[in-house]
């Protein structure tokens, strides 16, 4: 169906929308993005949104009365979006159970932000014909009615979580998990469980689940998760043989020990920013390409021995008084390093700084050290 045909059809249907004020804002940046309050998309005045690739529905309640069903399913089938965002809405399960069978064909990404998924009346789980095409599901600050997690919805769970590649459950009150749920998401490549009061006992427990392995997981985010040691992650990491990116920023490590289990991981990115780190013990994993240690309380640059693959190092906003000294030349062993952020540190202007400048000057890299900016070997005063 061409866009014009779709427009005509919508106009003929004369869709009525229950919300009092329904409006959309269409921006043509990129592939086109439409932000509508509530179900403004169904208002014939907002037909330009049919061309958007990204649709955000915000502020209000998404519910379907019997009468609106045909308009709603038709409207959803006609939009071309690949990304759907719900923001600050209360979504009733009756809405989900209707639209789930009529999702736009290209839709592969759903974000639900600051919203509530509720079950008003008891409903049968929807009958799902085709396999889900949703690859990314991201929930942030969202409350999910516990009855939606019950075994009576397990067909829906399998349908949704089976084909999923990327899952985010951020700031959503996740406390524990079990074998059934862990197994449902075993094929993810990206998992973000940041900002939850998650229990590490329950995370450690899943290592006992029968033949569980997150064998495709490449990136794991546990920002702001009340972690006090990396050691506590070893049991979980034993289930993630291919993990390359670990974000454990905004935790509380103070004295950081790299556990042995990190040495056998193919980790290339480790984010340890904003974690109150004062000292670091043992060597970081040698496979690292990016190491983020910004916004900590480091007095000395930690050992970077043997990090021959390191390309990006951020140690800005710490308490470093020297970056490099004659005796401790660990920085100069970093052959691949091309980006160094080392600004906002209380450097003392002495021989050590001169040493640093000489090193950086010869090192041909992009360096941002705050008041001094070094770029590709040229020293400029910032």
Ligand X SMILES: *[C@@H]1O[C@H](CO)[C@@H](O)[C@H](O)[C@H]1NC(C)=O
Q: Which residues bind ligand X (CB under 6 A)?
A: 59-60, 88, 162, 176, 184, 186-187, 197, 199, 201-202, 205, 223, 226, 228, 247, 249-250, 252, 254, 271, 273-274, 283, 292, 305-306
> For ligand X, which is the closer residue by CB, 6 or 171?
171
Q: Shortest Cβ distance from residue 40 to ligand X (Å)?
A: 13
Structure letter (DSSP) for residue 75: H
Rounded to 5°, the CA angle 284-325-263 comes to 10
d(CA 49, CA 79): 8
Q: Shortest Cβ distance from residue 242 to ligand X (Å)?
A: 13
Q: Shortest Cβ distance from residue 232 to ligand X (Å)?
A: 10
What torsion, rounded to 10 degrees, do the Cα atoms 305, 311, 317, 318 define? 0
Rounded to 5°, the CA angle 173-244-112 comes to 30
Tokens of 280: 């670091």
> For ligand X, which is the closer residue by CB, 60 or 168?
60
Q: Shortest Cβ distance from residue 331 to ligand X (Å)?
A: 15
> For ligand X, which is the closer residue by CB, 6 or 86?
86
d(CA 91, CA 115): 7
> For ligand X, which is the closer residue by CB, 27 or 333?
333
> For ligand X, which is the closer residue by CB, 10 or 134?
134
d(CA 140, CA 148): 17
Q: Shortest Cβ distance from residue 162 to ligand X (Å)?
A: 4
> For ligand X, which is the closer residue by CB, 145 or 186?
186
Q: Shortest Cβ distance from residue 91 to ligand X (Å)?
A: 12
Residue with tokens 């159970």: 97
Q: Is 338 buried (19+), middle (13-18) or exposed (0-12) by CB count in 10 A?
A: middle
């Amino acid at each position: 169906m061409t866009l014009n045909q779709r427009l005509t059809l919508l106009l003929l249907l004369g869709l009525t929308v229950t919300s009092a004020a329904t409006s959309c804002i269409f921006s043509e940046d990129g592939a086109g993005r439409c932000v509508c309050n509530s179900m403004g998309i169904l208002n014939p005045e907002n037909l330009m949104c049919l061309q958007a690739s990204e649709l955000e529905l915000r502020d209000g309640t998404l519910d379907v009365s019997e009468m609106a069903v045909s308009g709603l399913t038709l409207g959803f089938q006609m939009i071309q979006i690949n990304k759907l965002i719900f923001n600050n809405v209360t979504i009733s399960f009756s809405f989900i159970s209707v639209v789930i069978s009529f999702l736009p064909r290209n839709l592969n990404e759903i974000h639900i932000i600051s919203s509530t998924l509720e079950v008003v009346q008891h409903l049968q789980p929807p009958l799902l014909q085709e396999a889900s095409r949703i690859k990314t599901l991201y929930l942030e600050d969202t409350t999910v009615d516990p009855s939606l997690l019950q075994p009576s919805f397990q067909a829906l769970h399998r349908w949704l979580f089976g084909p999923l590649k990327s899952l985010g459950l951020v700031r959503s009150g996740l406390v524990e998990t079990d074998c059934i749920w862990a197994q449902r998401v075993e094929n993810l490549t990206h998992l973000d469980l940041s900002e939850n009061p998650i229990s590490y006992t329950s995370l450690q427990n899943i290592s006992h689940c029968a033949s569980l392995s997150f064998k495709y997981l490449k990136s794991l985010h546990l920002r702001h998760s009340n972690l006090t040691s990396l050691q506590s992650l070893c049991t979980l990491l034993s289930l993630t043989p291919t993990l390359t990116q670990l974000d454990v920023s905004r935790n509380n490590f103070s004295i950081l020990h790299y556990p042995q289990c990190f040495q056998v991981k193919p980790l290339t990115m480790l984010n340890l920013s904003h974690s109150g780190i004062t000292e670091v013990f043992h060597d970081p994993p040698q496979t690292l390409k990016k190491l983020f240690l910004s916004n900590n309380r480091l007095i000395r640059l930690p050992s970077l021995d043997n990090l021959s693959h390191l390309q990006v190092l951020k140690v800005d906003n710490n308490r470093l008084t020297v970056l490099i000294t004659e005796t401790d030349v660990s920085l100069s062993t970093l052959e691949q390093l091309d980006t160094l952020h080392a600004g906002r540190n209380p450097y003392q202007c002495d021989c050590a700084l001169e040493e640093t400048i000489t090193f950086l000057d010869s090192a041909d890299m992009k360096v941002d050290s705050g008041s001094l900016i070094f770029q590709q070997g040229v020293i400029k005063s910032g």
